[in-house]
Structure 1
Amino acid sequence: MAPAEVAAERVTLEQVVADARRLAESGRRCILGFAGAPGAGKSTAAEHVVESLGSGLAALVPMDGFHLANDVLATLGRRARKGAPDTFDAAGYAALLQRIRSQSTPGDDAVVYAPRFDRGLDESIGSALAVLPEVPLIVTEGNYLLLESGAWPAARAFIDEVWFIEAPEIVRRERLIRRHESFGTSAEDARSWALGPDEQNATLVAASAPRADRRLIIV
């Protein structure tokens, strides 16, 4: 029998931080994931949690660092739909989470370096984020943490809890349009991308929400 679908909770960012703190203070290494459709607010929630808890308790390692490079996407014929599940190195992301899960003894050799996606460059930067073994809570976020195809389930296996962030569709779409415009995209192209490739990805992500440990509407 399939598990009952989790009902959405209305919470404040302060409540999200408090719940994340309990994971950070559990006495063991925990990985917390924030999933959600493009523009839902998962990056904002993840960043706020890490900033509020401080570098001694939490570190952020986003899934977006595993975007395939633009020239690779062009070679594969996938450049026009960057952001779709097969435009990421999902297996590499899973391998990174496995390394983070197994960190133990402090020291230079135990530091794990993760990639970071630079929106201004529209490319990932390798080894840009240092993950220290003494930090108890690692926060990750991305669209596809709950996807059941490809290597995404392998990544999910190393995440203790995934909290799915939801937002009204009109709010989510307008956020995406403004985000694209903020990085130099014209208003017309920003709307076209938000309502085209982004919307296709959002539909796919929404279908994965029932597999989340929690579904959150941040108020």
Structure 2
Amino acid sequence: MAGLTLLDDRQEAVTAQDLVSAILARAADTKRLVVAIAGPPGAGKSTVSATLCAAINARDPDAAVVVPMDGFHLDNAILDARDMRKRKGSPPTFDCAGFEVMLRRLREGGEDIVIPLFDRKLDLARAGADIVKADQRILLVEGNYLLLDQAPWNRLEPLFDMTVFLQVDRLELENRLVQRWLGFGYNVGSAQARALSNDMPNADLVLEHSRPADFILKN
């Protein structure tokens, strides 16, 4: 995995394994550690989160679990009724309040908690798709808007114990997002239109209006 930069006065560079060690060290001092992994669309949040989760669990079996924000996408029927389907993935197309409630439940812990997941192939959120077990003490929460400094997303700030931001060159983001839509069967023109009309405005919002993170991952 790419190197990481710790945001402190020394701007100390750390590796992915250093980050895993830092998470495990922090987790040793608390009943449950909630780590935000944020970044723009196409930054690789899902891949990085899964990689970190596997590395943590290799050292502390079944301690970590990934909790995606995308399970709180509004259904397409609601977006159609609000004439917002073309902006799917933008902040207003998520149930931020429901996501906040889930995070508060997860922080409290003490019981298994059922969470939703987003199915990209079906293009919908599936309720009850996964379970965060009571004894899983490291939650890697991943999503675009976790560090957004705008309401209502800024209410999430106190719910995270550590924060990581994935940094990717803007042109590379655009290329990745076009490739994503090509992978879903769009032709080149449609893939470019989809990326430029919706994904990149969302990416620019994240890049320009996210709070500083504890760690920057140049992915």
TM-score, length-scaled by structure 2: 0.87
| Contact 2:148/2:210 (8 A) holds in 1 | no
Q: Residue by residue, what CA displacement relative to the aligned partner does 1:52-71 show, whole Å, maximum 9, x if unpaired? A: 22261101110011000011
Distance change in 2, residues 1:8/1:44 (3 Å): farther
Matching of residues 5-154 of structure 1 within 5 Å: 11-54=14-57, 56-104=62-110, 110-154=111-155
Q: Residue by residue, what CA displacement relative to the aligned partner does 1:70-122 show, whole Å, maximum 9, x if unpaired? A: 11100011101101000000000000000000112xxxxx2111100000001
Separation of aligned partners in 2, 1:122 and 1:148: 27
Cα RMSD for the two superposed structures: 2.2
Total equivalences in the alignment = 210
TM-score, length-scaled by structure 1: 0.87
Give the aligned partner of residue 107 of structure 1. none
Distance change in 2, residues 1:127/1:148 (3 Å): same
- SS of residue paired to 2:159: coil
- Which ranges of structure 2 fall in alignment gaps of 5 or more residues? 1-6
- SS of residue paired to 1:125: strand
Distance change in 2, residues 1:125/1:170 (3 Å): same
- Which ranges of structure 1 fall in alignment gaps of 5 or more residues? 105-109
Aligned-pair distance for 1:26?
3.4
Paired AA for residue 77 in structure 2 = D
Separation of aligned partners in 1, 2:10 and 2:114: 36
Separation of aligned partners in 2, 1:195 and 1:6: 36
Paired AA for residue 212 in structure 2 = R
Separation of aligned partners in 1, 2:105 and 2:146: 17
Separation of aligned partners in 2, 1:35 and 1:65: 15
| Contact 1:90/1:155 (8 A) holds in 2 | no
Separation of aligned partners in 1, 2:17 and 2:171: 24
Runs of 4+ in structure 1 deviating by more than 6 angstroms, as ranges, are: 4-9
Paired AA for residue 40 in structure 1 = A
Aligned-pair distance for 1:188?
1.7
